[in-house]
Structures are given as C-alpha cells and as structure tokens.
C-alpha cells in the first residue's frame, strides 16, 4: 500500500526514485534493472521504495508518465511558432527540440529508449499523439490549403511512430552512417514532399 506523498520530503523522494529508475534502466537495461539498483541510485533503502510504489512496475509506469510529460512539455510551447513555418522547417524545429530533450541528463531518456522501455511497459503514448494532432489542427488553420488532402490520422501515425523511432534509433547509434542533421533534414523534407506531393496530385490530376 504505497503512501500518498504529501510531505515535501516525500515528494523529493518520489522524484529521486523515478530519476534513479531512468539511471538504472539506462545502465542495466529494462530487465537488468533491479529494485535494489533503483533504491541505491535514489539514495534510499529498498523498503522506502516500496513506501511510495506498490511494485517495480509502478516505478516504470511513473517513468513513462514522466517521459511523455516531458515530451509534451517540449512540443506544446512550440506550437504557436511552428504554425508560421513551412512544413519542413516546422518538423525540423520540432525534431531538434525533442532530440535535445532525449539527450538531456547524460542521455538518460535515450538510454532507456535503447533498452526498449516502450516495449514491455504499457506505454501510453496517446497523450503525445493528442498533442501532435492539436499541432496539426493549428497548422491547418494557418495553412488551409492542406486541409483538403491530408489524412490526418495516417500522417500522424507515420510521423509519430516512424519519425520518432528513427530519431531515437539514430541518437542511440555509436557510429551512425549519416549525421543527425542529415537525418532530421531527411525526415523533414520527406514529410514536406509527402504533403506537397499529395497536394499537387489533387490540384492538377
């Protein structure tokens, strides 16, 4: 029965555990991370970990929530400015921001991604999807000509799954065959051409 962390100290401890969770998974992998690793990294005892989380799984869920929260916190504030850019530039801007987030704190998030944190945990990525859809809606209001054509769900599906994953994969590679900027450019251009190409088809078939 995990305690509700109402006191200041308790909240600090909960945060420390989540941080330690990222560190532990980063160094030992999802399966290799033990509760003792996490507790030690958080500077507490195993028992204390279980004061705040009913089990290991709950720690992982909290980690996932934190990651999703941070990604959303990165994208959302950018929306107003993104809507005034061209597709390619908007995507490029967004990907660079997310890339920076993933590399923060010694690549903490990145290392977790490498170990597939999203495969075993009930990673609820729908909040990210929601933000991206909101971004699109805003974008369409400023660029109404795209409104006719884009299959919103397909576009977002490919963007979030293909785009994000490719980005993560690249950030994780030790000797990537292409540079990060080249990759981001490639993804941005691809999406832009996709949209414009489909639009062209519609306009003069």
Distance of alpha carbon 134 from alpha carbon 109, whole angstroms: 24
Q: Name the segment binding a copy of itself (CB under 8 A); options: 12-20, 42-50, 74-82, 181-189.
A: 181-189
Which among DNA, a copy of itself, none contacts residue 177 (Cβ within 5 to 8 A by kind)? Answer: a copy of itself
Tell me the per-residue interface mask from 68 to 107 with a copy of itself, x by CB under 8 A, - otherwise: ----------------------------------------
Distance of alpha carbon 122 from alpha carbon 125, whole angstroms: 9
Which among DNA, a copy of itself, none contacts residue 29 (Cβ within 5 to 8 A by kind)? Answer: a copy of itself
Per CB under 7 A, 3 contacts DNA:
yes
Q: Using an 8 Å Cβ cutoff, are 179 and 134 in contact? A: no
Q: Three-state secondary structure along the chain?
A: CCCCCCCHHHHHHHHHHHHHHHHHHHHHHHHHCCHHHHHHHHCCCHHHHHHHCCCHHHHHHHHHHHHHHHHHHHHHHHHHHHCCCCHHHHHHHHHHHHHHHHHHHHHHHHHHHHCCHHHHCCCCCHHHHHHHHHHHHHHHHHCHHHHHCCCHHHHHHHHHHHHHHHHHHHHHCCCCCCCHHHHHHHHHHHHHHHHHHHHHHHHCC
Q: Which is nearer to a copy of itself, 106 or 165 (CB)?
A: 165
Q: Which is nearer to DNA, 12 or 147 (CB)?
A: 12
Per CB under 7 A, 27 contacts DNA:
no
Q: How many residues bind a copy of itself (CB under 8 A)?
A: 38
For residue 21, the minimal CB distance to DNA (Å) is: 11
Question: Which residues form the interface with DNA (CB under 7 A)?
Answer: 3, 6-7, 9-10, 13, 32-36, 44-48, 50-51, 54-57
Chain residues binding a copy of itself by CB under 8 A are 29-31, 114-116, 119-120, 129, 151, 153-155, 157-158, 161-163, 165-166, 169-170, 177-178, 182-183, 185-187, 189-194, 196-198
């Amino acid at each position: 029965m995990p305690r509700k962390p109402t006191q200041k100290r308790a909240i600090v401890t909960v945060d420390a555990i989540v941080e330690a969770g990222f560190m532990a998974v980063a160094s030992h992998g999802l399966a290799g991370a033990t509760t003792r690793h996490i507790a030690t990294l958080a500077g507490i005892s195993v028992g204390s970990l279980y004061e705040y989380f009913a089990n290991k799984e709950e720690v992982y869920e909290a980690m996932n929530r934190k990651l999703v929260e941070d990604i959303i916190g990165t994208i959302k504030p950018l929306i107003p400015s993104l809507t005034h850019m061209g597709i390619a530039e908007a995507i490029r801007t967004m990907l660079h921001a997310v890339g920076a987030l993933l590399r923060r704190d010694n690549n903490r998030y990145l290392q977790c991604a490498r170990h597939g944190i999203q495969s075993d945990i009930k990673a609820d990525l729908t909040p990210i999807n929601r933000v991206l859809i909101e971004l699109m809606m805003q974008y369409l209001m400023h660029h109404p000509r795209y409104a006719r054509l884009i299959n919103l769900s397909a576009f977002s599906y490919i963007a979030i799954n293909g785009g994000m994953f490719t980005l993560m994969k690249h950030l994780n590679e030790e000797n990537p065959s292409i540079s990060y900027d080249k990759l981001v450019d490639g993804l941005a251009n691809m999406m832009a051409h996709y949209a414009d190409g489909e639009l062209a088809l519609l306009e003069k078939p």
